[in-house]
Amino acid sequence: MHTSRWCGGGPVRASSADVSSPLEQVFLAAHDDLPREAPGSEETTALLLRLAGDLPERPRIVDIGCGTGPSTLPLAAATGGEVVAVDLHEPFLQRLRTRAAVSGLGERVRPLVAAMDDLPLPDGEADLVWSEGAAYVMGFDAALAGWRRLLAPGGTLVLTEAEWTTATPSPGARAFWDANYPAMRTTADNVAAAQRAGYTVQAVYLLPVGRLLPPAGLPARHPAGGRPRPGGAGRGGPGDRGA
């Protein structure tokens, strides 16, 4: 289980049914040129993939709330595996299809319009479940519980989540996040929640502000004491194995 700071706003609830509404058109126009919908970068996706540890030669990956695919495409390219790319918003998946084809990855990227809390996917067939900046839509705990069944034995979940990084936020920050994401917690609380949900938390990593990675070799943040953790990924599912 990977947790990291990001700075998005409130839940994005888009559906393929209302694409033609004026509100949806404004949303699409505003997001048209965005390379991604959540904090992170191709570099941080690559880093998180390394932190996920060993994977089968051609891992089966599910990228939930994939948007236009800023994590989907690097995952497919780096692993040689197949990625089921899930999003509720068909126009994002259309862009992903185009980008995958241009990148020569069309054969290994399968866009799937589906709701993240009702995934039409079989149990136990994913070596890696991935989600950047989307678990908050259904709630962190619900995502941990609901997505665990997807994992093959020894499978790994990697996700990013908005978190408090200080015990004493400014009144303005507190007011903003209380209004927009009242369920937001600290890293330690999220790690504890993952452990309660049956995951072994290997590590966590705090996403850098902006797109830049910290210098190579910079140790990751250690969330709750214990042995040093180089980054974040957790394993769960039937036949869990420890980290």
Q: In the complex, which residues of this chain contact ligand SAM (CB under 6 A)? A: 8, 12-14, 36-38, 40, 65-67, 70-71, 86-89, 92, 115-116, 132-134, 137
Closest separation between CB of residue 57 and ligand SAM, Å? 25
CB neighbour class for 112 (10 Å; exposed up to 12, middle 13-18, buried from 19): middle
Min. distance of Cβ 217 from ligand SAM in angstroms? 25
Question: Residue 75 or 137: which CB sits closer to ligand SAM?
Answer: 137
* Distance of closest approach, residue 13 Cβ to ligand SAM, in angstroms: 5
With CB atoms as reference, the residue minimizing the distance to ligand SAM is 67
Contacts of residue 226, Cβ cutoff 8 Å, sequence gap at least 6: none
Least distance from C-beta 46 to ligand SAM, angstroms? Answer: 14
Q: Which is nearer to ligand SAM, 18 or 240 (CB)?
A: 18
Q: List residues bridging with 87 in a β-sheet.
A: 113
What are the DSSP calls for 169-238, one per residue? --HHHHHHHHHH-TT-EEHHHHHHHHHHTT-EE-----PPSSSPPPPTTPPPP-SSSSS--SS--EE-ST
**Is 3 or 154 the residue whose CB approaches ligand SAM more closely?**
3
Query: Alpha helices of 61-213 — where are they, by DSSP H?
Result: 72-79, 90-102, 135-138, 140-147, 171-180, 187-196
Shortest distance, position 101 Cβ to ligand SAM, whole Å: 19
**Residue number, 42 or 240, with CB nearest to ligand SAM:** 42
| Nearest distance, CB of residue 180 and ligand SAM, angstroms | 13
Q: Kindly tell me which of 66 and 197 has the beta carbon lying closer to ligand SAM.
A: 66
Q: Which residues contact 192 (CB under 8 A, 6 or more apart)?
A: 224
Q: Which lies closer to ligand SAM via its Cβ, residue 1 or residue 66? A: 66
Q: Whole-angstrom Cα distance, residue 81 to residue 84?
A: 10
3-state secondary structure of 44: helix
